[in-house]
Homo-oligomer: A and B are copies of this chain.
Amino acid sequence: MSVTIKDIARKAGVSHTTVSRALNGNPSIPDKTSVLIRDIAEEMGYLPSAAARGLKTRHTRALGVLVNRIDNPYFGEILQGIEDAVKDAGYSIFIASSFMNPKHEKSIIQAFSEHRVDGVIIGSVPVNQESYNLLDQYGIPAVVINNQSHRNHKYTISHDDFYGAQQVTRHLLDLGHERIAYIGNKRASKINNNRLRGLKHEFLAADLAFNPNFVLHQPGGEIEDGFTGMEELLKKQADISAVFCFNDLTAIGALHFLIRNGIRVPEDISIVGFDNIRYSAYTNPPLTTFDQPKRSIGTEAAKMLMDLVKQTVSGEPNDHPMSKLMRGQLLVRESTKQPERRNL
């Protein structure tokens, strides 16, 4: 079965203590025996048991990542960013998706805790107080990406949605749009609010009145929500000239609805997305959007978490909260242009 340090010890004619020390580079072991032991270990295909080691050292070199769903292109890139950062540092990651279901979420956090992960990253999901208490009790630090709960968390990485929404809105205003609609996502309450706030702020800054009837909050942020949202919006308000969508997925859905119904984009209506998921460059027309540094958000979250772990291990208390706000940039493609004059 699996090779243990005792097997190596037997073969090398020393005690397992010496093997353990040799493999960990303890200076009390002279080079020649150290080399001998390493060679034998290599030859026997020895790999230390993370379980046994973790039992003693109290850390596992494993992190837990909780997301809403894995097969979401936005999270996908964040996950990849996390993995990039983590891989170099020799950590492994557990990934689980909660589907916004509190039951799942609780059992995921439990599983993470049972595996005694060194830390947890929570990606754009509101998490129960109960789950946090669990992590607290087990002394597991958590970094929250795009905090969605009302609670303020100690360690967060967030995207500056307010700024992003401002840029998007300014772009539309600069083009001459005034009848701008917003298709939001109820579920992502905090993010949704920030984006809407950014939009309103720009209207205010431009001395324009924003028509609240132009806002529609959908139950989710998927393609379908954009599709049905666009449909509903046009039923209520036929005279909009541009739509700011919660994210690229909803924008793709909205775009699709318009094209299906013979409404030209951007000639009749301009569409803007948010996030810059990979695919948004290849819609027809290519989507104007706000480019979130998703991969960087992932790596920054992972780095922050690994720093926290290091501090925890070295026993430093570190009670001051940390949070990092990441900014992206507007990406003008072809789904936006100045509004054409229409008979009013």
Residues of A in contact with B (beta carbons under 8 Å apart): 1-2, 45, 47-52, 54-55, 60, 62, 69-73, 76-77, 79-80, 83, 87, 90, 92-97, 104, 107, 110-116, 134, 137-139, 223, 252-253, 255-256, 259, 278-279, 281-284
Complex-state Cα separation, A255 to B286, whole angstroms? 12
In whole angstroms, what is the CA distance A309 to B131 when docked? 30
Q: Are A94 and B94 closer than 8 Å at their CB atoms? A: yes
Q: In whole angstroms, how far apart are the Cα atoms of A52 and B49 in the complex?
A: 11
Question: Nearest chain-B residue to A140 (Cβ)?
Answer: B2
Task: Give the residue name and chain of the B residue nearest to A58 (CB).
Answer: B1
Q: Bound state CA distance, A148 and B183, in angstroms?
A: 43
If A51-B55, A256-B284 touch, whether A115 touches B71 (CB-CB below 8 Å) is no
When chains A and B are docked, how far (Å) is the Cα of A288 from the Cα of B104?
36
Q: Which of A60, A96, A279 has the most chain B CB atoms closer than 10 A to its own CB?
A: A279
In the assembled complex, the Cα of A284 lies from the Cα of B80 at a distance in Å of 28
Contacting residues, chain B, for A2 (C-beta < 8 A): 116, 137-139
Point out the residues of chain B lying under 8 angstroms from A93, CB to CB.
94-96
Give Cα A70 to B308, complex, Å. Answer: 25
Q: Are B116 and A278 in contact (CB under 8 A)?
A: no
Q: How far is the CA of A82 from the CA of B192 in the complex (A)?
A: 31
Query: Contact: B95 with A95, CB < 8 Å?
Result: yes
